[in-house]
Amino acid sequence: AQSVTQPDIHITVSEGASLELRCNYSYGATPYLFWYVQSPGQGLQLLLKYFSGDTLVQGIKGFEAEFKRSQSSFNLRKPSVHWSDAAEYFCAVGPYGGSQGNLIFGKGTKLSVKP
């Protein structure tokens, strides 16, 4: 069955430190992969997406993610975290079901940033 796993529920990093958020998926074909960010009480904002081509994808706010087919992973990275990056991050994979553009979302990783 198709699924997305974000193994870390909560991560705390110091401001200026590097960040890596993990995402593993189970999917029968080459997936489309997404990372979204959600600030408290807000909707989700797209950070980046992978459809095909270069496996290292650049996104907004200085984030990048690397698709590793052999590891079924799509980890999100940032070299230097800012206090404003504190939020919840969701990985998603698709399509699934009737292929109506449906995505499966992970349960999210909450990022806290220490000053």
Interacting residue ranges for other proteins, rule: CB under 8 A: 9, 32, 34, 36, 41-46, 49, 90, 94-95, 98-103, 105-108
Of residues 31 and 113, the one with the C-beta less far from other proteins: 31
CA atoms within 13 A on the CB side of 80: 1
Of residues 33 and 113, the one with the C-beta less far from other proteins: 33
How far is the C-alpha of 14 from the C-alpha of 106, rounded, in Å? 24
| Residue 7: φ, ψ to 5° | -70, -25
* Shortest Cβ 51–other proteins spacing (Å): 8
Of residues 15 and 38, the one with the C-beta less far from other proteins: 38
* Shortest Cβ 44–other proteins spacing (Å): 4
- Six-digit token pair at 47? 């950070």
Sign of the dihedral defined by the CA atoms of residues 12, 18, 39, 9, in that order: negative
- Taking alpha carbons only, the member of 72, 29, 32, 75 closest to residue 52 is 32
Of residues 27 and 78, the one with the C-beta less far from other proteins: 27
* Shortest Cβ 49–other proteins spacing (Å): 6
